[in-house]
Structures are given as C-alpha cells and as structure tokens.
Amino acid sequence: MRKGGNNLTRLRDDTVPKGRVTVVTGGASGLGAATARLLRDHGAQVVVLDADTAAIKAMTGEPGLHAMQADVTDAARIEALFARIEADMGPVSALVCCAGIAMPGSVVRGGQPMPLAEFRRVIDVNLLGTLNCIRCAVPQMINHRHEADAEAGVIVVTASIAAQDGQVGQAAYAASKGGVAGMVLPLARELGDQGIRVMGIAPGVFSTPMTEELPERSREIVFSAVPPFPKRAGNATEFADLVHAILCNPMLNGDTIRLDGGLRMPARL
C-alpha cells in the first residue's frame, strides 16, 4: 500500500465534482432533485433522468440541468441515453441513483396472496433499475480514466434504513433496498482496480413527495417514528450534502451510510 498523499489541497481539487458529467436518476423529485441542484451549483454538468414526463418537462430549461425522460428499468432506453450523454457532453464520471418507488403492502391480503407483479415491480425499479444505470455508466468511467492512479468515477446508490429495519408491509421495499445495499461492497471491490468508488446512502425518514403522498395510514406510521435527534424528518438538502461529501472524499468507498438522526424503526405501531 502506498503512503497517503501529503498535498491535501491538490487532492481536494482533483475530487470536487466541477465539470464532471453527473447523472442523477429520479432527479425530478425529492432527494434526487435536491442532489441534482446542489451538484449543479458546485459546477457539475448534471443530467437528470426520471420516468415522470411532466416533472421532466417542468425541469427542462432550468439552468445547468439537462432533463431527460427515461424509465430506469428499460435496458435499451438507458443504454441509448448513456450513449447520447457521452456523445453530447462527454463521459459520465459520477452516477447518483435515486429513482425508486415505495408501494407498501402485505404479502397476504384477506387470506389471498398478493399479486406477484406488485413485488416484482418494486424489485425491478429499485434494484434492477439501479444496476441498469450502473452497468451503462461504468464503461464510460473506465474508458476515460486520465492516468493510472486517477479516480475514474464515483457511484452513489440509495438504499433505505428499511433494508435493516423493514416494517410490516415493507417486505418488497426492504428486499429491494437490501439488494441495493448488498451490491455496494462487491461492486467497490470489482471496480476498485479501475479507479471507481461505490457508496450507498440509507436514508431514514425524509420529507419528500414519496413519503408525503403515501396512503394516510402508511404516512402516519412513517412520520410517527421520531429520531433521537434531530426530532424531525430529514430535508432533501441534507441528503444532497452527503452525496456531495461522498463525491469529494476519496476515502469513502464500499459501504452504506445510515442518514437517519439515529432512528430505528419499530416493527409496527
């Protein structure tokens, strides 16, 4: 192992996201939108990918953001979009995966099995959708590495504290987020030789359209869980700040950080 660098200023200059082509999935709402805007404000060239056509349209024309409509589960569409981004803007060197859905629901309802398609949809969007974007971003990061020792890219994925503290009705969501968190270390190990870092964030309860627009009962359950401190839901900007810190700090790799004010969700209320 080489000794650590002794020129801190140079290290920080090399790692800030200035000018980086950065893709934020699910970037038209909530945690993703706050992240896209913060990274844009720090000088990154930000591409927002989101399935929500109306939200993408509303973002189009916002300075410094390139808004593109796409469903992260669509293999061919995501391949084509990443190729277009590379051709138009240059290779992607940071990917932040925020696209996700919650869809709470019991596995057995009124004595009947839940529709399997519901469970599959959550896994498709949250887990396979994340991997679909990672597999398209990585070759661009690898091919455009400047020098042997340089950082080629950073990937930040969004898990959830539900991966560890999944509540009643969250089997699908917790399984999908457990899968996301589970990919982080093996991907960091696989891609380390190519200069790519992989990190996860497991948010607690954040105030975003995902949580605010849950069915009434689920919303009550989610917001009644109060962290030790601060005793409130997180703000999307606090998530964005952590993404920025991860992009800037080259020693963060291969782990998922809980961002939850110390919250541990009970099994049920």
Ligand X SMILES: NC(=O)c1ccc[n+]([C@@H]2O[C@H](COP(=O)([O-])OP(=O)(O)OC[C@H]3O[C@@H](n4cnc5c(N)ncnc54)[C@H](O)[C@@H]3O)[C@@H](O)[C@H]2O)c1
200 contacts: CB under 8 Å, gap ≥ 6 = 156, 157, 158, 159, 180, 181, 184, 255, 256, 257
Q: How far is the CB of 195 from ligand X (least distance, A)?
A: 26
Q: Cα(198)–Cα(240) distance, rounded to whole angstroms? A: 16
Q: What are phi and psi of 249, to 5 degrees?
A: -110, 105
Q: How far is the CB of 50 from ligand X (least distance, A)?
A: 5
Choosing from 35, 45, 132, 208, the residue that interacts with ligand X (CB under 6 A) is 208
Which of 173, 176, 177, 236 is labelled catalytic?
173
Helix residue spans in the chain (DSSP H): 8-15, 30-41, 53-59, 75-89, 116-123, 129-143, 162-165, 171-191, 209-212, 216-224, 236-248
- Is 173 one of the catalytic residues? yes
Q: Cα(104)–Cα(218) distance, rounded to whole angstroms? A: 8
Measured in whole angstroms, the distance separating CA 145 from the mean position of its chain's CA atoms is 23
**According to the binding rule CB under 6 A, does residue 195 interact with ligand X?**
no
**According to the binding rule CB under 6 A, does residue 31 interact with ligand X?**
yes
Counting residues that bind ligand X (by CB under 6 A) gives 29
Q: How far is the CB of 18 from ligand X (least distance, A)?
A: 25
Choosing from 203, 225, 258, 263, the residue that interacts with ligand X (CB under 6 A) is 203
Choosing from 38, 46, 47, 51, the residue that interacts with ligand X (CB under 6 A) is 51
**According to the binding rule CB under 6 A, does residue 209 interact with ligand X?**
yes
Residues that bind ligand X in the complex, under the rule CB under 6 A: 25-26, 28-32, 50-52, 55, 71-73, 98-101, 125, 129, 158, 160, 203, 205-206, 208-211
